[in-house]
Amino acid sequence: MRTEYPQGRASPSPPPEGVKETWGGPAFPWEYPQGRASPSPPPEGVKETWGGPAFPWERRARQLGALLVLLMAGSAPADSPDARYRLNTPTAAYRVQPRDAWHLPAAGTHNPAIATRPHAQRIADAARAAGIDPELLHAVVKIESGYDAAAVSPKGARGLAQVMPATAERFGHDGLDAGARYLRHLIDRFGGDLPLALAAYNAGPGAVERHGGMPPYAETQAYVPRVLAEYAALRAERRRLPTRWQQGGAWRDGGPEKSGS
């Protein structure tokens, strides 16, 4: 016999073989005390069902009862000792925990204007080690020596950066590295004022300090604007390189990726 719900839907499954269908109670005799059968047959016009309620309101009542149980269970805080149902999920696993070391990689730069100039790699390495822009060191080298590594000034300054022997001995045996470090030292000494640092590179820091600014020397006053103009022109040619994440590459956690200069 196939039984249905009042809406015409079939019951979940027919009763097992040998089990008698009943109305209003369990189908198995042992579910009642002393093995009694269900209390009464179904009312006239109501179809028998197996495994579910016969009346629509019975299903609704069960659903409302389940909802009431959930609401009562949630009436106390989840971490309260009075809560019947407690959420034991570790909250630290779902807490925002910012890490100082995590950030997007900085965009690299490339400058075609200096990439093809003489001694480009040496100048780039020296500038990076000293913490100054390679364009700035290129500008100084161009104005000081015209990229002539064998240049010697009348006063005895030597090499690409035209460094005096005493300065080279103090800041590094290689003249180019010494010139880059010396320029970095002057920038820091004069509070980041690049024109005064360049004036000190040309005329000496003592002259800048004695005059309280740009020394009144024709050579120095012509030298500083030339270096600044060359530096500005080279910086204008700098191009940003897209990072791996901008190109759709996989981001690796653990800090910014290294990019070429």
The Cα 239–Cα 109 span in angstroms is 6
One-letter amino acid of 97: Q
Closest Cα partner for 196 from 234, 169, 223? 223
Radius of gyration of the chain (CA): 43
pLDDT per residue over 218-230, tens digit each? 999 999 999 999 9
**Structural domains of the chain, ranges and CATH numbers in brackets:** 1-61 (no CATH), 111-241 (1.10.530.10)
Biggest CA pair distance of the chain? 125
Give the pLDDT score at 62. Answer: 81
Do 197 and 190 touch, CB atoms closer than 8 A? yes
| Cα–Cα distance, 251 to 44 (Å, whole number) | 71
- State whether residue 109 is helix, strand or coil: strand
Q: Which residues are the active-site residues?
A: 144
For residue 109, the model assigns a pLDDT of 75
DSSP category for residue 50 = S
Q: Is the pLDDT of residue 8 over 90?
A: no
